[in-house]
A and B are shown apart, each in its own frame.
Chain A
Amino acid sequence: MAYDHIPLDDEFKALAAFDWGADAAPLAKLDAAVIACHGDAALTADLERRFGEIVTGKASRAAKEYACRKLSMIGTAASVPVLAPRLADPAESHMARFALERIPVPAAGDAIRNALGSVSGDLAIGMISSLANRRDAASVKPLAALLGGDAKLAAAAAVALGRIATPDAAAALAAAKPQAGPVADAVIDARLACADAFLAAGDREAASTIYRSVAATVGDAPKTHRSRAVRVAAQSGLLACLDDTVAP
């Protein structure tokens, strides 16, 4: 459906009253407007403001979810204050994060990182997941701080550090000394991810240091599929570090 520059008042009214199962025809016009606003700063700002009003208003969960999806496409720093307070609400956290994760301004990352300090449990894992997807280097410190705590958070934080894969992240992972179990596994996965990233960037020495260290964790005769796979990862990584006939 093409956007024909109508005022969209009726459509936003319909969205404010929208719920699952209702007539979705008005939403198609909003979809079109979001596509059409590309390169039109004024229209984008207007749409962003109005979707923000849905998010902060008394609309249904379905309507807010819809608005968050749209903000994920056109949201700017202006949407961060709208979305950030939702991160702590179990019913709205994911969709607020859905939008924030995609908004390519530092303030969006700041908001998610800040929320990490104020939420717990699954909501915190959600923040960690989004920080990982943003490869948010500024999050290394708070993520590293989680490695020694709650097991689920620690495992998620380890995975995120592996995705971020900076030298700081690798150092934090190397310093973690989790007991055997899911956290230890996640740390190993993350360390391998860091090593692979270093190797790909041409830092064979840093990579081989990690591969060797990881290989040591699985012992001489790993017997489980998991530990054998880890050994394969470390061994092939070490070979790749030595073999400079192949570009990293």
Chain B
Amino acid sequence: MPGMAKPAPPTLDHPLTDPVPITPPKPFQSRLRHPSSRKTIYDRNLSRTQTTATSLPAFAYLFHALITHHHSQSGSVSDIETRLNRAGYPLGIKLLDLLLYRQQTANPQRPATRPTRILDLLQFIHTTLWRALWNRTADALEQSTTKKNEYMIVDNEPVVNTYISIPREMSQLNCAAFVAGIMEGLCDAAGFAMEGVTAHWASAQGEARVEGKEEEMWPGKTIFLLRFSEAAVGREEAIKAGGG
């Protein structure tokens, strides 16, 4: 009906003859799926830990999907490790709060405090975090002999690597970088600035394993290297000098 049409706004040289209608926004629908009992993970008691263990194959399936995704997205070994680290980081931030809350509710007389000293933090990771994640403590906790800002946590057989075999061409890759990310997130949340937490194989994979009997016994032995930043180490020394 050209006679009734209003003059088009002068800004457009070629007016849109057939404008695409804007679809009305869909009403919000929660994608959250509920089990038949209508109890989601958010309805669970935060302190109840005994009955909430996940089955290892279920975890392995999810971890498999995570690794396959990052493997297809990235090229290099270090890139995959960084991505796995980033995937674990948010878990660590939340785990600090959750574990402290559980400590508090388990033992209301003694207030649970955030670890403020490096050694306390390492003990917290070595014992509390490991027990919450894998139901056992880590196998060793060591300080680097050469650098004073480096600490090592050793796990002889990381649970995340139970079903994972690294192909020869990327033998440096250790998928426990995910766990390293959890630790990095936890340390950062506790206020310790980190230079990074990385996961390394104790023995060179695929290389000739000759003498080391311990490496033979634990072929999947993994060392988590925690590198604290200068600020964290400086604060630690200041507290120590102040007699704290």
- Same complex origin of A and B: no
